[in-house]
A and B are shown apart, each in its own frame.
Chain A
Amino acid sequence: MIVASVISVPQLIVFIVSVVIIAIGGVGLLTARYPVHAALFLVMTLFGVAILFIEEGAEFLAAVQVVVYAGAVVVLFLFVIMLLGVDREEIASFAGDTVRVGLAGVGVVLILAELFVVATGAWATGAHSVAGKLSSGSNIGVLARSVFTTYLLPFELTAALLVIAVVGAVILSRRMGVETTTLDSSPIESGRREVEQ
């Protein structure tokens, strides 16, 4: 193999395996009949991506990927699926909507074509590093230095964002429930009744 003569074989094997995992996961996600299965395929894909991260030297991100995505996000998904009791078959996922599916396919193919042009071309601008060299130390060390110095403010903002998101989620789920009950009892009519009384 010409490729094998250029690239080290173990890396190639790891790459191919992870790509296969990603492909199976992605296609499975698309075609899964049950949301629970889809979630599991998603975990699979995320693991594949994590492997690629490691192969690219981003060990910290790979770990975070597994912990946050597989550990938190997908669990959250599964939790919601179970909570809502919608772990049943999705009604006619693709069927009866050929025009939209066709259009979606065309759109995706166009995006892919354009992305391939980007991916295979020499689009690197050669701009100088702003955040610092990646190879100047251990991955975690480099990241930590950058996050706690250059990107300290955005980092703090993400903390605030997370808090806001949590509070927002709580309020959303509570508020909507309250509104549902008032809507059912027709607020206008009840208000009128109050006035009459």
Chain B
Amino acid sequence: MVVLGLVIGFPLLGFLVLLAFGKRMGDPGAGWFGTIAVASSFVAAIATWIVLLTKHGSNRTQVLHLFRWFQAGGLRVDVSFRADPLSIVMILFVTGVSAVIHLYSIGYMKRDARFHQFFIYLNLFVFSMLVLVTANNLPLTFLGWEGVGACSYWLISFWFERPTAASAGKKAFIINRIGDMGFLLGTFLVFFNLHSVSYSKVLPEAHQLSSGTAEAIALLFFLAAAGKSAQLPLFTWLLDAMEGPTPVSALIHAATMVTAGVYLMARLSPILALAHAASMTIAIIGVITAFVAAMAATSQTDIKKIVAFSTVSQLGYMMLGIGTGAYIAAIFLMVTHAFYKALIFLSSGSVIHSLDSEQSIRRMGALAKLMPITAWTMIIAWLSIAGVPPFSGFFSKGSVLEDAFGRNELLWVVGVVTALLTAYYMGRLVFVVFYGNARWQEVTHGHDPHESPRIMTIPLIVLAVAAATAGLLNLPYSGLRFLHNWLAPVFGSALVTYHLSSSEKILLPATDAVVALLGIFLAWRLWRRHSERKALEPAVLFKGWYIDTFYDRTFARGGTALAKFSDRVVDPTIVDGAVGGIAWLFRWVGGLGKRVQSGLVRSYLLIMVAGIVVLLAYVLLSAAR
């Protein structure tokens, strides 16, 4: 499995070389180097996949053991990587999407003062993400988990000269810590009960866990996943993360890193299969997140905020799939989502790029004629995410909703309503940005925006093709369910299969398609000629249900108030008081002793006499006894 080492090694090599020589390579040399490193990794990933294809059944789980990382008592942690159907899917789409986005970044980040640094972070991110998805034990996964978190932090606050970017990075970091706590506690619980942290041992023996323990582990890891994958109530950081450069939003905060939570849950499916209550909780939180974020997305005016809420919403769908036991559907949605969401982001980035960093959709409009490639790729992405057949979203979202229906009709209803909203808000974006009146004269100072350079449009086209056709990966017809057949051995018995009647098998996809078209029709009716409709953009949705405001009021300001209180009261009185009090005590005692040191010989003599009296008394008493 040396080729797996190459998959991980190329981005690491790229990172190290860029770290050492990136500045000398400059713009665009460093970008090309980083892109080639990731593209090589993608090629190696394909090779790994082919190697696995030649094997059968359980042989498809290959472990690349490098060295022992650390050992403490019974805890043994190796640096070992795992290639199995699940991680291969992750590797393929992570390296593939990363390579495309690297290419796009060369154009997007052109003339940025820290061009080479951007690619250092990107390569480190890809490396960390690959470690995360291929690690064969929980601590190594956590290493990758933290690595992508750190890269996310660096890249969100890449333009740290802007205070908003700097604080957005901090926010992402802090909120992710809450999730990391869940990851660590979950790892401890796994080790405590199964005496190992290696997937090779933990996953086959998961059935030994009592159901209560499994529930606890599942919920703790879901906390981690909720932090990383931006589920309620920890999703607010993802919206601020849009302060980063758009390729970062596309790569990290849409396509790859945020799906790490979903991947983690899929990886731990044997434990999740034992935890029925936790699974239901995950499904409910997922579907509520999907709905809440979709509602909020309908009222945003910042193009990247719309897409960010859309990402949260889609991640909610994936969690719904995880919660209902439809792991393959969730992974399928993750892959297709990576394509179309990256595409949406890159198209948005193309628009933003041509409008001199303008992000408000109020100042866009009528761009379709000026930026045809961007507009058409965006429309493909929109049809995909909306779930219009035969684009990829139709199949992936459809399979998630099918299983949700099998589990509980209510979950399905909410999911379908969210699908309607999805088609609607994306339609709103497309109509307001690319059609209607041109409102960008102020921004561009008269001259017309122009299509982005080829280095940015080629990735758009590649992703558009992928977004349109990714449904082929897993068509809902026996014999064509490639992804299902590929992944099914990984999940085994954990995979829940719902048996739907033949009429339901036709009606459910039909409903999806009708709902998607209805959403598009609504968007067309309402937003074709308008760029602003106060009645449809209530403040509560614009503010994202005030969740962020609530956090700010309670935790952020509460914490600040507590800190100020500590600074004003606790520190001077209690801490300084204790320190100063001790000093004062000793000064006081010293003062008492000082009075003894009067310098008068006769006082000393008096004390001596007192000592003689006491000593004699002691001698007499002890002799008398």
Contacts and interface: CB of A to CB of B under 8 A. Distances in A.
Classify A-B as touching or not with yes or no (CB < 8 A). yes
Contact of A103 (B606, B612, B616): B606
B620 A100 contact: no
Contacts of A110: 613
A118 B623 CA distance: 11
B602 interface: yes
B417 to A, nearest CB: 93
A111 B609 contact: yes
Contact of B609 (A107, A117, A118, A123): A107
B610 interface: yes
B569 interface: no
Contacts of B561: none
A100 B613 contact: no
Interface in A88-143: 100, 103-104, 107-108, 110-111, 114-115, 117-118, 123
Contacts of A118: 616, 620
Contacts of A115: 616
Contacts of B620: 114, 117-118
B606 A100 contact: yes
Given A100-B602, A100-B606, A107 B613 contact: yes
Nearest to A118: B620
A114 B617 CA distance: 7
In this complex, the member of A107, A118, A123 whose beta carbon has the largest number of chain B beta carbons within 10 angstroms is: A107
B606 A114 contact: no
A111 B613 contact: yes
Secondary structure at the B interface, as helix, strand, loop or mixed, is: helix
B623 A123 contact: yes
B379 to A, nearest CB: 91
B335 to A, nearest CB: 86
A161 to B, nearest CB: 23
Interface string B222-252: 0000000000000000000000000000000
A94 to B, nearest CB: 12
A114 B616 CA distance: 7
B617 A108 contact: no
B612 A111 contact: yes
B349 to A, nearest CB: 75
Contacts of A103: 606
A109 to B, nearest CB: 10
Contacts of B602: 100
Contacts of A123: 623
A49 B400 CA distance: 119
Interface of B: 602-603, 606, 609-610, 612-613, 616-617, 620, 623
Given A103-B606, A104-B606, A118-B616, 19 more contacts: A100-B602, A100-B603, A104-B609, A107-B606, A107-B609, A107-B610, A107-B612, A107-B613, A110-B613, A111-B609, A111-B612, A111-B616, A114-B613, A114-B616, A114-B617, A115-B616, A117-B620, A118-B620, A123-B623
16 contacts: A100-B602, A100-B603, A100-B606, A103-B606, A104-B606, A104-B609, A107-B606, A107-B609, A107-B610, A107-B613, A108-B609, A111-B609, A114-B616, A117-B620, A118-B620, A123-B623
